[in-house]
Amino acid sequence: MKLIPLTCYFLLLAPFVQPELTVAEDQSSDFTRIHFQASKPPINNKIQPDRAIHADLSTFADEAWILPIRSSHLSPGQITSRSLNLPGLQPFFLVGDDPQSLAWLRQHAAELQEMGAAGLAVEVADNEALARIQAAAPGITILPVNGNDIATRLQIEHYPVLITATSLEQ
Domains of the chain by residue range:
57-169
Using one digit for the tens of pLDDT, what is the confidence trace for 112-125? Answer: 999 999 999 999 99
User: Which residue blocks in the chain are alpha helix, DSSP H?
Assistant: 6-13, 30-35, 99-115, 127-136, 148-154
pLDDT the model gives residue 65 = 74
Q: Which residue has the higher pLDDT, 25 or 153?
A: 153
Q: Would you state the CATH architecture of domain 57-169? A: 3-Layer(aba) Sandwich (3.40)
Its pTM surpasses 0.85: no
pLDDT the model gives residue 23 = 53
Inform me whether the pLDDT recorded for 108 exceeds 90.
yes
Inform me whether the pLDDT recorded for 35 exceeds 50.
no
Inform me whether the pLDDT recorded for 73 exceeds 60.
yes
What does the alpha-carbon distance between residue 69 and residue 75 come to, in Å, rounded to a whole number? Answer: 12
Which of 18-27, 59-68, 145-154 has the highest average model confidence (pLDDT)? 145-154
What does the alpha-carbon distance between residue 28 and residue 51 come to, in Å, rounded to a whole number? Answer: 25
- Using CB atoms within 10 A of its CB, is residue 123 exposed (0-12), middle (13-18) or buried (19+)? buried
pLDDT the model gives residue 74 = 97
Inform me whether the pLDDT recorded for 34 exceeds 50.
no
